[in-house]
Amino acid sequence: MTKILLVGPNGRMGRAIKDCVAKSNEYEITRELDSKSWKNAVEEKAKVDVIIDFSLPAALNDVVKLVESHNVPLVSGVTGYSQAQLQQIGKLSQKVPILHSHNMSPGIAWLRRVLSQVPIEWKTQAHLIDIHHKEKRDTPSGTAKTLAEDLGVSIEQISSIRSGSAIGLHSVIFSLPDEELVIEHRALSRNLFARGALQASLWIQNKRPGLYSMVDMFS
Ligand SMILES: NC(=O)c1ccc[n+]([C@@H]2O[C@H](COP(=O)([O-])OP(=O)(O)OC[C@H]3O[C@@H](n4cnc5c(N)ncnc54)[C@H](OP(=O)(O)O)[C@@H]3O)[C@@H](O)[C@H]2O)c1
């Protein structure tokens, strides 16, 4: 049974993780940390195998201290980090294994592998669409930024729509002479990301310190 410390248990993703854990006998959430329950959390060293973080970028300093004091792997799905915060995660990954992914779905991991095969002259013509629910804080989405980076295009090539309750849609459009290729991924439930994060929490446990992605996990 994998013992999980869950940061951000009350959010949309935190609730999806708890829902998936309740239906499984492979995982147990032994400690939850919401924004009000950090007092003594770093020092108390709960017995955990892995920390899963689906909170917000503002929690990063506390999460880093937590990971350092527990000395266990981190699976983070948080998006919207600044460059300095990403460097902070990179530095932490020299001490413990970290899987940080803007999208925990197998579909997006495979899409990223497909994009690595696309001819370079197609990539530079690519446009991206990112559609999410209206409460989403970061625009463009972390996934859209990752795909743009994979394609080598700027974030100006991303069109973002924030509307209704859309869980997450990403389209990559290649406009070619006399033809158009569209590859689209639609997330139909947050349990998709939760299952990916839980799978990652098993996968990461015997890894050396380093920064991993879902592409590594599904390779
Ligand atoms: N990688 C993926 O596959 C994936 C998929 C979906 C979303 N995400 C990302 O995951 C993150 C969470 O998404 P969401 O939709 O669940 O957001 P959400 O519903 O807004 O939930 C965020 C939660 O973070 C908590 N939080 C804020 N500061 C905290 C702190 N210092 N310590 C502990 N908890 C803290 C809040 O807890 P309180 O209620 O206690 O304030 C809130 O419940 C976002 O960055 C989002 O973009 C990633």
pLDDT of residue 59: 96
> What CATH number corresponds to the domain at position 66?
3.40.50.720
Percent of the chain as helix, strand, coil, to the nearest 5: 40, 25, 35
pLDDT of residue 167: 96
Regarding whether 80 and 18 lie in a shared domain, the answer is: yes
Residue closest to 148 by CA, chosen among 159, 163, 161: 159
pLDDT of residue 41: 83
Per the structure, the complete domain to which residue 115 belongs is given by: 106-186
Regarding whether 177 and 79 lie in a shared domain, the answer is: no
> What CATH number corresponds to the domain at position 169?
3.30.360.10
As to burial, measured by CB atoms within 10 angstroms (0-12 exposed, 13-18 middle, 19+ buried), residue 176 is exposed
191 CA distance to ligand 1 centroid (A)? 14
Regarding whether 95 and 195 lie in a shared domain, the answer is: yes
Work out how many domains the chain is built from and give that number: 2
77 CA distance to ligand 1 centroid (A)? 9
Active site residue 133: no
Regarding whether 154 and 140 lie in a shared domain, the answer is: yes
Regarding whether 213 and 176 lie in a shared domain, the answer is: no
User: What tens-digit pLDDT sequence spans the chain (219 residues)?
Assistant: 999 999 999 999 999 999 999 999 999 999 999 999 988 888 887 789 999 999 999 999 999 999 999 999 999 999 999 999 999 999 999 999 999 999 999 999 999 999 999 999 999 989 999 999 999 999 999 999 999 999 999 999 999 999 999 999 999 999 999 999 999 999 999 999 999 999 999 999 989 999 999 999 998
Regarding whether 124 and 16 lie in a shared domain, the answer is: no
Residues at CB less than 6 angstroms from ligand 1: 7-8, 10-14, 33-36, 54-56, 58-59, 62, 77-80, 101-104, 138, 193
126 CA distance to ligand 1 centroid (A)? 30
Regarding whether 89 and 13 lie in a shared domain, the answer is: yes
Active site residue 145: no
